[in-house]
Amino acid sequence: MDFLSLFLIDFVKQLQSPTLAFLIGGMIIAALGSELVIPESICTIIVFMLLTKIGLTGGIAIRNSNLTEMVLPMIFAVMVGVLIVFISRFTLANLPKVKVVDALATGGLFGAVSGSTMAAGLTVLEEQKIPYEAWAGALYPFMDIPALVTAIVVANIYLNKKKHSAAAAHSTVQESLSKKAVAAGDYSDEQDYPSNRQEYLSQQQDPGDNRVKIWPIIEESLRGPALSAMLLGLALGILTQPESVYKSFYDPLFRGLLSILMLVMGMEAWSRIGELRKVAQWYVVYSVVAPFLHGLIAFGLGMVAHYATGFSMGGVVILAVIASSSSDISGPPTLRAGIPSANPSAYIGASTAVGTPVAIGLCIPFFIGLAQAIGGMSPLP
């Protein structure tokens, strides 16, 4: 009951935060038929600035970290970020009528990290006087960026494979393919391709024609506007001294520019919210289960680091909290640019409306309790 009231308080607070307020505002004005339009060139530069800032933040955090000290938790953070995307690929994406790109974008968001959830976790640890490494907060880019990159790359591989097999199916129509395959070949790009059918088709085709080369797609994804900007920011943050423009420009403008983009995404989400009618329940189930599952995986890996290198139990909790969090800030613009065909109603709805309240209201107390139960952690005298 206490958990539930915490959950509800956080839920209402989330709704009033500028990020979600502008998103919902966008949905409402779209529903009311507003003629408001944000020009495409403006969206492009906003996305560029947001992603450059996300990269710069990560890069500067990495440059200021003592990497040797944090090497094992860091590797685990990267692993968890990547793993979360693949979990969504093999769970959510396979549920009936759920689109694969939507599931991957959702997985990307749940793999990415929410700065505010992490901050809430750090605050609770400090209130309870539980010690943790000062650099533990710097683990977040190592989970955040790999998760977003993985989601975009896997989605592009999937979309390419789909197009490829659709084309292959078309090209062999005259050779009396089964009725089923013909039907499959008619699926439009917009619609999603049932993944088991696709595999069936893959086996049918000549492997030489059908195999999709993975590496060019990864390269292509990295060259796309979204990942270019983010990786550029990351490299500039690590290798140069961009602090002056970061502090005077990219950082202070971030939330305001995000509010405009959230408005746009709200208007886009409204026009596609109907697609969710038959699958919304799966997103709710995923969004409640995933934060616990991801957090437990990270908690387990954190315990390995605890026994192997003395990583503090407070640090283990932080690793679990950032794994259970889902990005409300860095993720949406990245995924909008990187997987344009994914439905923002699905991934933002799942993440911000359910995932974040679950992570803050339920997972933080759960993982602190778990760590205390294991006993390696106790308040300082």
Interaction site with its own copies (CB under 8 A): 15-18, 21-22, 25, 28-29, 32-42, 44-45, 48-49, 223-225, 228-229, 232, 235-236, 239-242, 244-245, 248-250, 252-253, 255-257, 259-260, 263
Asked whether 260 and 50 are in contact (CB, 8 A), the reply is: no
Asked whether 19 and 258 are in contact (CB, 8 A), the reply is: yes
* CA–CA distance, 283 with 378 (Å, rounded to integer): 36
| Nearest residue (CB) to its own copies, 85 versus 263 | 263
Least Å distance between CB 310 and its own copies? 35
Least Å distance between CB 336 and its own copies? 15
| Nearest residue (CB) to its own copies, 232 versus 284 | 232
| Nearest residue (CB) to its own copies, 95 versus 232 | 232
Cα–Cα nearest to 151, from 332, 356, 360:
332
Least Å distance between CB 171 and its own copies? 28
Helix (H, G, I), strand (E, B) or coil at 36: coil
* CA–CA distance, 26 with 273 (Å, rounded to integer): 13
Least Å distance between CB 172 and its own copies? 32
Cα–Cα nearest to 333, from 226, 203, 220:
226
In the block, tokens 């006087």 appear at 129
Phi/psi at 378 (nearest 5 deg)?
-150, 155
| Nearest residue (CB) to its own copies, 29 versus 212 | 29
33: alpha, beta or left? (left if phi > 0; alpha if psi -120 to 50):
left
Least Å distance between CB 210 and its own copies? 26
Phi/psi at 224 (nearest 5 deg)?
-60, 160
Q: Is 123 exposed, middle or buried (0-12, 13-18, 19+ CB in 10 A)?
A: exposed
* CA–CA distance, 73 with 313 (Å, rounded to integer): 12
Least Å distance between CB 350 and its own copies? 21
| Nearest residue (CB) to its own copies, 56 versus 342 | 56
Least Å distance between CB 264 and its own copies? 11
Least Å distance between CB 82 and its own copies? 23
Q: Is 43 exposed, middle or buried (0-12, 13-18, 19+ CB in 10 A)?
A: middle
DSSP tag of 376: S
| Nearest residue (CB) to its own copies, 8 versus 245 | 245
| Nearest residue (CB) to its own copies, 261 versus 318 | 261
Asked whether 226 and 334 are in contact (CB, 8 A), the reply is: yes
| Nearest residue (CB) to its own copies, 113 versus 229 | 229
Least Å distance between CB 32 and its own copies? 7
| Nearest residue (CB) to its own copies, 315 versus 332 | 332
* CA–CA distance, 103 with 259 (Å, rounded to integer): 24
Listed in sequence order, the residues at least 6 apart from 42 whose beta carbon sits closer than 8 Å to its beta carbon are 260
